[in-house]
Amino acid sequence: MSKPLSLRWFRRPVLEVAPELLGRHLVVSRKGGRGSERFVITEVEAYDGPEDLACHASRGRTTRTEVMYQAGGVFYVYLVYGMHWMLNIVTGAEGYPAAVLIRGVEGISGPGKLTRRLGIDHSLNARSATGKGGVWFEESGLVVPENTIEKTPRVGVDYAGEWARRPYRFVLRP
DNA sequence: GGAGTGATGACA
DNA sequence: GTCATCACTCCA
């Protein structure tokens, strides 16, 4: 049994938070359900501020991106291609738009499949990750040595020029 | 390689 | 109001 990672834990630079999420648990407590499910996080991507051309907030503050400007510890959930919800956790200080995309957990690879399997959709958007929204993060007790973390460019952001090549994707090697 | 799918944001 | 775009997945 472990407490949710604190809001303070997320209010740090996204490039610190993202790799540290690897090996920790994503916890989902279904509405009306009994108990909760825990998943080891295996793949994430960092989206870092207004200058990062792959970050939605690089096109300015809009209705959709508003939540990214909040202080870290709230979820940013949006729809792509009309059918897949993307689960992100906002990081950093209030006013600086950054978030980590949860791309995969143990047993589920792919951000769209992940949200479908876990029943996550728009209703989680802007909710805090302290547990009230039914989804949160926990310590797992796993040790993740630095050399088991693979860093690669992010997926599906070829439009982002130089930013597309930055090693902002973090994968836990099997 | 290409289709499905619908919210979002830019523009009028 | 129109239109292009899209942090994906599946099938050929």
**The predicted structure's pLDDT at residue A1:** 63
Question: Closest residue by Cα to the C1' atom of nucleotide B5?
Answer: A82
d(CA A90, CA A23): 18
Residue A140 near residue A25, CB atoms below 8 Å: yes
Q: Is A92 helix (H, G, I), strand (E, B) or coil?
A: coil
- Beta carbon of A80 within 7 Å of strand C? yes
What average pLDDT does range A33-43 have in this prediction? 91
CA of A2 to C1' of C7 (A): 30
d(CA A138, CA A29): 13
Q: What letter represents residue A89's amino acid?
A: I
Quickly tell me which residue has 């020029």 as its tokens.
A161
% of chain A residues with pLDDT over 90: 93
CA of A113 to C1' of C12 (A): 21
CA of A35 to C1' of C7 (A): 31
pLDDT surpasses 70 at A138 = yes
Query: Sorting pLDDT into bands at 50, 70 and 90, what band is A21?
Result: very high
Q: Within 10 Å of residue A30's Cβ, how many Cβ atoms?
A: 13
